[in-house]
Amino acid sequence: MARAAVQRRLTWRLGRVTRRIDETARAKSLVLNVPDWPGHRAGQHVDVRLTAPDGYQAERSYSIASAPEDGDQVALTVERIEDGEVSPYLDDELAEGDQLELRGPIGGYFVWSTDMGGPLLLVAGGSGICPLMAMLRHRAARQSHVPTRLLYSSRSLDDVIYRKELDSLAGRADGLEVFHTLTRSQPAGWSGYSRRIDRDMLAEVAFAPAQDPLCMVCGPTPLVEAVATTLVELGHAPERVKTERFGPTGG
Amino acid sequence: MDETQLRLDGNAAAGMLREVFVHEMSAARGACASCGAIAQMGSQHLYMYPLSPGAVLRCQYCDNILKVFVHAGEHYRLGLQGLTWLEIRDGAEAGTNV
């Protein structure tokens, strides 16, 4: 039977950590093998559940960073929040070979696939890059040439998650352009932006409203609200601006 | 704290809603009973505090409460007081790679 015809309850399942990747000093990717993973769309998330020996449970949502084309391999990128309940465990304790309880994929709103076309404007703040990375990886896996621009705000160059891969993707000359802005410190000779995302920056980087780009914005709530509001002020249709706010996740 | 700092997107409640609904609910469209605006649930404003038993979904245009979802004890309670209608796409399964 075709998968699409089957309606299922969302159930908790176990994934096994096959690889840990240090992305930055504060962000790690966990690559999980999830048997019978039903497949996902770029932009979807999973809920992760930790259970303490006394039965106490904590749940957090993490965006899937890997492409749907990666099969049963599901990558999550976890940014460490020092006083958090979940992220320090995922960061320090969870080793290769360990199991992790998760459910998903979840969400049908903040998603993009190549058949949705473009132009595509992606705007990320910090670890808000994760679901957008799934879209870029999906785009590359499908050898799509949909005109795409990524505007990515980080504190410093060392805080840029997936930096080398983004450089490599932008070097394919397949219609993807990557713009970085570094808000706190910049290396000598830095030629990118050096301030918070603002109206002038969006006017330069975003496609013209007449091109009707699909805009996907992900990051901390204040950044997402400022960017979404400004895009609409610049003339982009509100229904073409999709947002994913991180909010106070509790880490 | 300014309450807007706590704001999320309806998308963040998609997992919670899938505990009750078989269909993917963040892509479902609904009409606000107060201002009439029609939008996908994932685009509406969500207030869901860490470790809280529920969530409140408000209209992104007029702030009207659309939906209240609580899971406490053995029961789920869903208040749909602010929606005139809710349209769910048949076959919209979250896990389907389309």
Residue A132 domain flag = yes
Proportion of chain A above pLDDT 90, given as a percent: 80
* Structural domain for A89, as ranges: 3-106
Taking residues B49-53, report their average pLDDT.
72
Domain-by-domain residue ranges, chain B?
3-87
Together in a domain, A96 and A137: no
Residue A185 domain flag = yes
Tell me: pLDDT of B98 over 70: no
Tell me: pLDDT of A43 over 70: yes
Tell me the shortest Cα–Cα distance from B59 to chain A, in angstroms: 14
Read off the pLDDT of residues B67-78 as tens digits, 9 standing for 90 and up.
Answer: 999 988 889 999
> Least CB-CB distance to B5: which of A222, A243, A244?
A222
Asked which of A68-72, A182-186, A233-237, B50-54 is least confident by mean pLDDT, the reply is B50-54
Q: How far apart are CA A26 and CA A53, in angstroms?
A: 27
Q: How far apart are CA A161 and CA B58, in angstroms?
A: 33
Tell me the shortest Cα–Cα distance from B64 to chain A, in angstroms: 18
Taking residues A67-95, report their average pLDDT.
90
CB B35 within 8 A of CB B63: no
Together in a domain, A92 and A126: no
CB A187 within 8 A of CB A159: no
Reported pTM: 0.91
Together in a domain, A124 and A236: yes
Mean pLDDT (chain A, rounded): 92
Query: What confidence tier does A120 reach under pLDDT thresholds 50, 70, 90?
Result: very high
Contact residues, chain A, for B9 at CB < 8 Å = 109-110, 243-245
Please tell me the predicted confidence (pLDDT) of residue A251. 63
Q: A79, A106, A133: which is the final residue of a domain?
A: A106
Together in a domain, A229 and A171: yes
Together in a domain, A99 and A151: no
Count of all residues that appear for chain B in the document: 98
CB A150 within 8 A of CB A179: yes
Residue A225 domain flag = yes
A225 near B CB under 8 A:
yes
Q: How far apart are CA A44 and CA A135, in angstroms?
A: 10
Together in a domain, A197 and A160: yes
- What DSSP designation does A71 have? T
Q: A44, A75, A106: which is the final residue of a domain?
A: A106
DSSP A143-168: T----EEEEEEESSGGG-TTHHHHHH
Taking residues B25-49, report their average pLDDT.
94
Query: What is the 3-state composition of chain B as percent helix, strand, coil, each rounded to the nearest 5?
Result: 15, 35, 50
Residue A15 domain flag = yes
A187 near B CB under 8 A:
no
Q: Burial letters for B68-77: b for 16+ Cβ neighbours within 10 Å, e otherwise?
A: bbbbeeeeee
The CATH number linked to A64 is 2.40.30.10
Residue A250 domain flag = no
Structure token digits, residue B24:
């993917």
DSSP A189-249: T--SB-S---HHHHHHHSPPGGG--EEEEEESHHHHHHHHHHHHHTT--GGGEEEEE----
Quick check: A107 and B42 CB within 8 A? yes
Quick check: B23 and A5 CB within 8 A? no
Tell me: pLDDT of B1 over 70: no
Q: Which residues pair with B58 in a beta bridge?
A: B45, B65
Query: Among all residues of chain B, which has the CA nearest to that of A223?
Result: B5
Tell me the shortest Cα–Cα distance from B66 to chain A, in angstroms: 17
Neighbouring residues of A143: CB distance < 8 A, sequence distance ≥ 6: A174
Number of domains, chain A: 2
**B1, B2, B3, B8: which to substitute to probe chain A, counting the most A Cβ within 10 Å?**
B8
Tell me: pLDDT of A30 over 60: yes
Q: A106, A131, A151: which is the final residue of a domain?
A: A106
Residue A251 domain flag = no
Residue A32 domain flag = yes
Read off the pLDDT of residues A215-249 as tens digits, 9 standing for 90 and up.
Answer: 999 999 999 999 999 999 999 999 999 999 986 55
ipTM for this model: 0.83
> What Cα–Cα distance (Å) separates residue B76 from each residue in A146, B20, B53?
43, 8, 10
Read off the pLDDT of residues A122-166 as tens digits, 9 standing for 90 and up.
Answer: 999 999 999 999 999 999 999 999 999 999 999 999 999 999 999
Alpha-carbon dihedral B1, B2, B6, B7, rounded to 10 degrees: 170
Q: Which has more pLDDT, B89 or A236?
A: A236
Asked which of A73-87, A104-118, A134-148, A220-234 is least confident by mean pLDDT, the reply is A73-87
Quick check: A108 and B94 CB within 8 A? yes
Please tell me the predicted confidence (pLDDT) of residue A247. 66
Structure token digits, residue B8:
């999320």
From the list A3, A110, A6, the residue with the least C-alpha distance to A61 is A110
Proportion of chain B above pLDDT 90, given as a percent: 56
A41 near B CB under 8 A:
yes
The CATH number linked to A231 is 3.40.50.80
**B7, B8, B11, B90: which to substitute to probe chain A, counting the most A Cβ within 10 Å?**
B11
Count of all residues that appear for chain A in the document: 251
Residue A183 domain flag = yes
> Least CB-CB distance to B26: which of A8, A103, A108?
A108
Contact residues, chain A, for B20 at CB < 8 Å = none
Contact residues, chain B, for A222 at CB < 8 Å = 5
CB B58 within 8 A of CB B48: no
